[in-house]
Amino acid sequence: VKKKPHLVRREFAPREVSSASLALLLAAILLLNVLLYLYLSKFRISSGRAETDPTLCPFGHFKLGAVKNCSPWLSCEAINREVRKLKCVGEGAVKKVFLSEWKENKVVLSELTNSELKEDFLHGLKMLKALQSKHVVRLLGFCEHQFTILTEYHPLGSVRGLNETLHMPKYKGMNTWHHRLMLAIDYVSVIQYLHSSPLGTLVMCDSNDLDKVLSQYLLTSDFHILVNDLDALPVVNRSAGRLVKCGHRELRGEFVAPEQRWPYGDEVPFEDDLMPPYDEKTDIWKIPDVSNFFLGHVEGSDVVRLHLFDIHAACKKEDPSERPSAQVVLDTYRKVLTLLIREAAMPGTREML
């Protein structure tokens, strides 16, 4: 009688296989999450005026808070009747900003402070109307003849206060290389949107130093970035030979792009008429410095900087034509995010981050 072969029970995989399976599953979940994030980001960066975003209303309308229906932008009469100023929360060269209330919602009312800068104020309003999208603060209403603009309120304020916000107990969990890189991606997404906007290629001119740049952007409660100040957005039209100059004064310092600095040396006094114009690549020059602020000094941020080294070096090319487009920078940032999340999920590389 033949002996029955001895059956080895293999129903249960050894413990090390289970650990490997668990690590792979974790990696797959993390990768799926980041790919979903990237897909949604790309999906929302379409070429349309308002972009594909379910929170956006038809042109000339808005919705606020938990309200499901869209309302028309508030008129002069509605603003005067229904909006109540609470306190002044800021003042710049062009406007004074008030925290206000409308139908139990906190809102922001901006008023012109210097009548000589009427054109700047109205240009900002025109831009705000035309560029409504997921990248731009939500417009709720305006009154042109009273020079007032009503916009959505974001309690975390400008991104200048990012580091302070991330040290608050409520937000400490967001103070990671991963969330910080996503903020940098949001910032570059805004630049990309402005460079390919429905109005043409727009240059972010209010950006002569880091503090000034950061003051132009708001941090939302769900940790995204919106551009808030659109008073200085001239249009570049290279095919028509139209370039721009950011203001009429001499710009100095390493933060501004080389082509924005007076090219004739100290021996020739600055003269606006002799200053050569430039294009949107000035915005690209500034990206590494702004991103460096967003990345901060947390565990893993230096690894992110290492992966961004080449694209940042390209942004800092002296010749503007050799710098990458905002789209190329954005694509690179997204690839780095995907790569680092994949590495962080894989055994053996976790210690790096």
At the fourth CATH level, which superfamily is domain 157-342? Transferase(Phosphotransferase) domain 1 (1.10.510.10)
> What are the 10-residue block averages of pLDDT along the chain, 353 residues in total?
50 54 68 59 39 72 87 96 95 91 95 91 94 96 96 96 95 95 98 96 95 96 94 91 94 96 94 96 98 97 97 98 98 96 70 48
Handedness of CA 96, 99, 101, 106 (dihedral sign): positive
pLDDT of residue 318: 97
Asked if the domains 70-152 and 157-342 are classified in one and the same CATH topology, the answer is no
CB burial of 313-340 (b: ≥16 within 10 Å; e: otherwise) equals: ebbbeeebeebbebeebbbbbbebbeeb
Q: 70-152: what CATH class?
A: alpha beta
What letter would DSSP give residue 254?
Answer: S
Domain boundary assignment for the chain:
70-152, 157-342
**In sequence order, what E strands does the chain have?**
61-62, 71-72, 83-91, 95-102, 105-112, 139-143, 148-152, 201-202, 217-219, 225-227, 235-236
Bridge partner list, 112: 95
**DSSP three-state, residue 184:** helix
Amino acid at 192: Q
